[in-house]
């Protein structure tokens, strides 16, 4: 599937602001109480997500992130697979 077609597919199923960072498809999605910055998007879902209180904070982090380590910004929690290991961690720098 060509990149353009894949981005259109991701948009059609609700993901937004799709970009490729460090060779992984990333984007944003709204959840019930948070906005997720999603990493490793594919046809089956995503590798991990960073939960933010709001869309603006998630978008800002997505646009400046280089894909190394965790994104900057005031994310609350990271869930999924990180460096080959299952992770469910709170951001040690989170500010309420």
Q: What is the mean pLDDT of residues 48-77?
A: 96
pLDDT tens, position by position, 2-61: 899 999 999 999 999 999 999 999 999 999 999 999 999 999 999 999 999 999 999 999
Give pTM, 2 decimals.
Answer: 0.93
15 CB neighbour count, 10 Å cutoff:
20
Give the pLDDT band (50/70/90) at residue 96: confident
Give the pLDDT band (50/70/90) at residue 65: very high
Output the six-digit token pair for 33.
């109480």
Cα–Cα distances in Å, from 5 out to 9, 10, 32?
Answer: 6, 9, 28
Output the six-digit token pair for 35.
């906005």
């Amino acid at each position: 599937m060509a990149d353009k077609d894949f981005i259109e597919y991701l948009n059609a199923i609700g993901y937004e602001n799709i970009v490729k960072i460090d060779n992984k498809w990333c984007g944003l999605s709204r959840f019930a109480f948070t906005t997720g910055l999603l990493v490793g998007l594919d046809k089956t879902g995503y590798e991990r997500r960073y939960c933010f209180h709001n869309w603006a904070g998630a978008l800002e982090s997505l646009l400046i992130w280089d894909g190394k380590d965790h994104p900057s910004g005031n994310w609350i929690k990271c869930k999924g697979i990180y460096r080959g290991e299952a992770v469910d961690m709170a951001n040690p720098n989170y500010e309420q």
